[in-house]
Amino acid sequence: MRRTAAAVAGGLALVAVAVAYGVHQVIGQSGEAPDYSGGGAGSVTIEITPGASAAEIGQTLEKAGVVASAQSFVEQVITRSKESGLHPGRYTLRRRMAAASALDLLLAPSSRVVQTVTVPEGLRTSEVLHTLASGTGIPLKDFTEAVAQPRRLRLPAYAEGAAEGFLFPATYEIEPGMTAIDLLRKMVARFRVAAVKVKLEELAPRVRLTPKQAVTVASIVQAEGGVPADYPKIARVVYNRLARGAKLEMDSTVNYALNRHTLKVSMEDTRVDSPYNTYARPGLPPGPIGNPGESALTAALHPAEGAWYWFVTTDPRRKITKFTDKEDEFRKYREELNRYLGTN
C-alpha cells in the first residue's frame, strides 16, 4: 500500500471532481464525501491489483458502482486503520453499498473469489505445464520458457537443475498478476515443505539413496502404484531388485522414455535406447519420471518389509495389484493382466 498521505491526496482529488460534476442519489450532508447507505444489492466482481493504494481501490469501487465515491471508502480505511488489511484478489461485492459495508466485504475471506488450479499426483513435467496453462490462462509458452531456466525456480541443490520430480502436486491459488515463474516457484516451495515433513534428506541415506534418488523411486512408485496402500510394497520391490544388482524392468520408465502412457508395453518397447529404460540398464534411471505426492515420497523412505521381487496390477480398473517372490506366480499374474488387456 502507498502511504496514507498519498491515499488521502488521491481521495481528495476525486471528491473535487465529484463536486464539480454533481453527485446524484447519494446520502450525505454538504461537505461530506458522498456515500450510499445500507448493504447494497445485486452482485459485482472487482479486482484489486498488487500494490494498489486505498485511493486506487476506491476508484475501482466507484467505477464499478459499488460505492458512491472513492473518498468515502478512503475515509473508512483510514478511520479503521485498515491500510495494510487490503489484499490483491478478486472479490464479490454489491452495487450501491455504504463504504463501510464495502470495506467489511473486502476484509471478509468469504468475499474473495479464489481461482485455483489442481495438479494431480504423478504427472510428468510436460503434463504439469499443460495443466497449469489450461487452469490459469497463462500461456503455455511462459511455463515452457520458465522450466527451461531451472535456476530461476529455486530448486533444491540436489535436484541438479531439473524440475522433474520437484513440482509438487497440490491445489494452488492463482493471485492477480501471478506469472509462470511465480507459480512454478510456489510448487517448488510446496515440495520443500513436503520434503521437510517426510524428512527426505534425513531418511534417504537410510535406504542408501541420495535425496534425488529417493524422489526418483517415489516417482516410479507413483507411476506404478494403483492405491496408496500398495506404495510401500512397490518401493520394497524396487529396493529388493537394487540389492541384487538386477534391472528394475519397470514399464513406467519405458513409457517415460517413449513419452506415452499405456499398459501394453511390448518387447520392442523394452529395447528403446534411453537412460530411462530400466529393462536395458541396471539401477535407477537418472532422475524422476514424474512428480510424486507425499504418499509416494513416504513410501520410498519407509518401504514395507518383504521379499517380493515382482508385482503385477492384474485388474487396472479396480486397481488390484498382486505381489510375489516366486517367478511362477509372477507369470500367472502376467497372464491375468494379459487376459484383462485382451478384453478391455
Q: CA gyration radius for the chain? A: 28
pLDDT of residue 307: 97
| pLDDT beyond 70 at 14 | no
Alpha helices in the chain (DSSP H): 4-21, 54-63, 70-79, 99-107, 125-136, 140-147, 180-197, 200-203, 211-224, 231-243, 251-258, 294-301, 327-342
Taking residues 12-23, report their average pLDDT: 34
pLDDT of residue 301: 98
Highest average pLDDT, of 19-28, 107-116, 272-281, 335-344, comes from 272-281
Q: In this structure, what DSSP letter does residue 119 have?
A: -
Residue 343 pLDDT level (bands cut at 50, 70, 90): confident
- Cα(64)–Cα(83) distance, integer angstroms: 21
Domains of the chain in start order, with CATH, are 4-112 (3.30.1490.480), 115-197 (3.30.1490), 206-342 (no CATH)
Taking residues 293-302, report their average pLDDT: 98
pLDDT of residue 31: 61
pLDDT of residue 17: 34
pLDDT of residue 344: 64
Q: Write a three-state SS string for 183-236.
A: HHHHHHHHHHHHHHHCCHHHHHHHHCCCHHHHHHHHHHHHHHCCCHHHHHHHHH
The mean-pLDDT minimum among 23-32, 115-124, 142-151, 238-247 falls in: 23-32
| Residue 33: Cβ-neighbour burial (10 angstroms; 0-12, 13-18, 19+) | buried
Q: What is the sign, positive or negative, of the torsion defined by CA atoms of 289, 343, 313, 332?
A: negative
